[in-house]
Amino acid sequence: MNLVGKTVLVTGASSGIGQAIAVELAKQEVTVLINFRKNKTGALDTLKKAQKLAKGEIFQADLSNKNGVGKLFSDIRKKGYSLDALINNAGEYEGGDFGNFEVWESQFKNILMSQVYVSNGFINYEKSKGIRKIINISSVYGISEMGNPEAPQYSAAKAAVSSLTMNLAKEYGPEILVNAIAPGYVWTPPWESTSKEELDACANLTKIKRFIKAEEIATMVVELLKNDAMTGEVIRVDGGLHLTYVR
């Protein structure tokens, strides 16, 4: 896919990985549609950075419910945008005991179902010319041997995202190509309150001995969008993480 002039929706783009993806896409002369749920200040910051490079606009929506997603696509449609690609990035980490069913429900709603709802909206959106693409942001915790028992809900939800990716690729190819990226420890705002000891422990579990930069996930998103020979893949970007879990 030649990205110049394309329009891409990035969910959860008010900070961290989502913001980095939006800015990297803008560098490719992509019109970036920036979704946020609560952090409008962050979304406006993303938009400011993106608009130095290309066109962009922000759209507020809670993606954990169908009504919010329906409103998102209605708002995009009213603005007259086509949609060439979707980056399913929204979703927050939450740990919890195995028996905490509230966390099970919230994590699957926040992570898996948000991607299901938004992917469905994208698939049924007015067709643009050529191949369309979906990239889901999963996690190394969603890979079977890497699950984190301190966050079984998050791990299972991300594993479901990886499974969703492969099933969507089978169902909708070759018109829509679907891949996922499974990041390891990426330096994002939630880590800022973590102790130095824990940060060092996480970094030392990787072969690169450091946290991944959000921009390094963003550049992989761009490469997947450009490559028309890949679908149904879950790409690990984890710095050679070689133990099962830390947190």
Q: What is the pLDDT of residues 120-146, one digit of tens each?
A: 999 999 877 899 999 999 999 998 788
| Residues 161-177: tens digit of each pLDDT | 999 999 999 999 999 99
Q: Is the pLDDT of residue 9 over 90?
A: yes
Does any domain span residue 111? Answer: yes
| Residues 23-64: tens digit of each pLDDT | 999 999 999 999 999 999 999 999 999 999 999 999 999 999
Q: How many structural domains does the chain have?
A: 1
| Residues 152-161: tens digit of each pLDDT | 999 999 999 9
Does any domain span residue 97? Answer: yes
Does any domain span residue 246? Answer: no
Q: Is the pLDDT of residue 245 over 50?
A: no
Does any domain span residue 242? Answer: no
Does any domain span residue 245? Answer: no
Q: Is the pLDDT of residue 246 over 80?
A: no
Does any domain span residue 2? Answer: no
**Full residue range of the structural domain in which residue 173 is found:** 7-237
SS (H, E, C) 112-176: HHHHHHHHHHHHCCCCCCCCEEEEEECCHHHCHHHCCCCCHHHHHHHHHHHHHHHHHHHHHCCCE
| Residues 178-204: tens digit of each pLDDT | 999 999 999 988 888 889 999 998 898
Does any domain span residue 227? Answer: yes
Entry pTM: 0.93
Does any domain span residue 89? Answer: yes
| CATH, residue 136 | 3.40.50.720
Give every CB contact of residue 154 below 8 A, 6+ residues apart in sequence.
93, 94, 95, 107, 111, 139, 141, 148
Lowest mean pLDDT among 135-144, 162-171, 224-233, 237-246: 237-246
Q: Is the pLDDT of residue 243 over 60?
A: no
What is the pLDDT at residue 146?
A: 85
